[in-house]
Chains A and B, each alone.
Chain A
Amino acid sequence: MSGVAGDGTLAPSDFRVAAVAFAERWKSAVSALPPWSWIPRPKHPWLSNEVDGYLALENACLLGSSEENRVGCCGGSEEPNCSGDDEPVDDATLVQSSRDDVHYYDFHIIYDSSYRVPVLYFRAYCGDGRTLLLNEFEGDLPADSSEALVKSKWTFITQEEHPYLNRPWYKLHPCGTSECIKLLFQSDASIRTTSGAAELYLLSWFSVVGRMVGLGIPYEMMKYENNT
Chain B
Amino acid sequence: MASDSPNSDRKIVVHLRATGDAPILKQAKFKISGAEKFAKVIDFLCRQLHRETLFVYVNSAFSPNPDELVNDLYENFGFDGKLVVNYACSMAWG
Contact = CB atoms under 8 A, between A and B. Distances in A.
A-B complex is real = yes
Q: Is the interface of B mostly helix, strand, loop or mixed?
A: loop
Given A184-B61, A204-B61, A223-B76, A153 B92 contact: yes
B58 interface: yes
B48 interface: no
B72 interface: yes
B53 A148 contact: yes
A152 B56 CA distance: 13
Interface residues of B, number: 29
B9 interface: no
Contacts of B19: 183, 186-187
A186 B55 CA distance: 14
A141 to B, nearest CB: 14
B61 A200 contact: yes
A14 to B, nearest CB: 15
A219 interface: yes
B64 interface: yes
Nearest to B20: A183
Contacts, number: 85
A203 B93 CA distance: 27
A33 interface: no
Contact of A180 (B55, B58, B62): B55
Interface residues of A, number: 27
Interface string A37-79: 0000000000000000000000000000000000000000000
Given A188-B60, A222-B76, A211 B53 contact: no
A153 B58 CA distance: 20
Interface string B73-90: 100110000001010101
Contact of B61 (A151, A152, A187, A219): A187
B63 A188 contact: no
Given A144-B53, A217-B64, A219-B72, 18 more contacts: A147-B52, A148-B90, A151-B94, A152-B90, A153-B93, A180-B55, A184-B57, A184-B61, A186-B19, A187-B19, A187-B61, A191-B61, A208-B55, A216-B67, A217-B62, A217-B65, A222-B60, A222-B62
Instruction: Please list the 10 inter-chain residue pairs (A to B) with the smallest Cβ-Cβ separation, ordered nearest first.
Output: A153-B92, A216-B65, A204-B61, A184-B61, A207-B63, A148-B53, A187-B59, A208-B63, A152-B90, A222-B62
19 contacts: A151-B52, A151-B90, A152-B53, A152-B90, A152-B91, A153-B90, A180-B55, A183-B19, A183-B20, A183-B57, A185-B61, A186-B19, A187-B19, A200-B61, A203-B61, A207-B57, A207-B64, A208-B57, A216-B64
